């Protein structure tokens, strides 16, 4: 695993999703809810749609796919509603000294 700095915490809007393309096919939808930051795979498991264009439900801790409305749990990546059936990947995020850092697999 390697740690990749994404941005400063202040650069993330509370309750919004933002897309980060880390290269090597790793694209994240990053969501800030208060002081917590979550990162899931940006590609919906139902079709090739960017989840970071979707709506965050802060209370449910989900991100809704903008295409057909499946809601993905930001903690587990699991869909909470149809039509998506499969989870999306989740990534461990740390906030250290106001910097948002994500753990990703090393490139092969």
Q: Which of the stretches 30-38, 65-73, 89-97, 99-107 binds ligand FES when contact is defined by CB under 6 A?
A: 65-73
Site for ligand FES contains 87 (CB under 6 A)? no
Nearer to ligand FES, 1 or 82 (CB): 82
Of the candidate spans 4-12, 20-28, 30-38, 44-52, the one that interacts with ligand FES by CB under 6 A turns out to be: 44-52
Shortest CB 69 distance to ligand FES, Å? 6
82: left (phi over 0), alpha (psi -120 to 50) or beta: beta
Could you tell me which of 31, 20, 16 has the C-alpha nearest to residue 75?
Answer: 31
User: Which residue's CB is nearer to ligand FES, number 38 or number 72?
Assistant: 72
Q: In what order do the strands lie in the sheet with 99-104?
A: 2-8, 99-104, 93-96
Could you give the residue ranges of the DSSP H alpha helices within the chain? none
For the record, the structure tokens of 43 come out as 């590609």
Closest CB to ligand FES among residues 32, 46: 46
For 106, list phi and psi in degrees, rounded to 5. Answer: -65, 145
**Chain residues in the site for ligand FES (CB under 6 A):** 44, 46-47, 49, 65, 67-68, 70, 83-84
């Amino acid at each position: 695993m390697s740690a990749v700095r994404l941005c400063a915490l202040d650069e993330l809007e509370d309750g919004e999703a933002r897309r980060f393309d880390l290269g090597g096919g790793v694209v994240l939808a990053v969501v800030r809810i208060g002081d917590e930051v979550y990162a899931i795979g940006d590609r919906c498991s139902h079709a090739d749609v960017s989840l970071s264009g979707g709506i965050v439900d802060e209370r449910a801790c989900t991100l809704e796919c903008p295409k057909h409305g499946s809601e993905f749990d930001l903690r587990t990546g699991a869909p909470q509603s149809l039509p998506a059936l499969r989870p999306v990947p989740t990534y461990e995020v740390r906030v250290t000294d106001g910097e948002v850092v994500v753990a990703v697999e090393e490139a092969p």
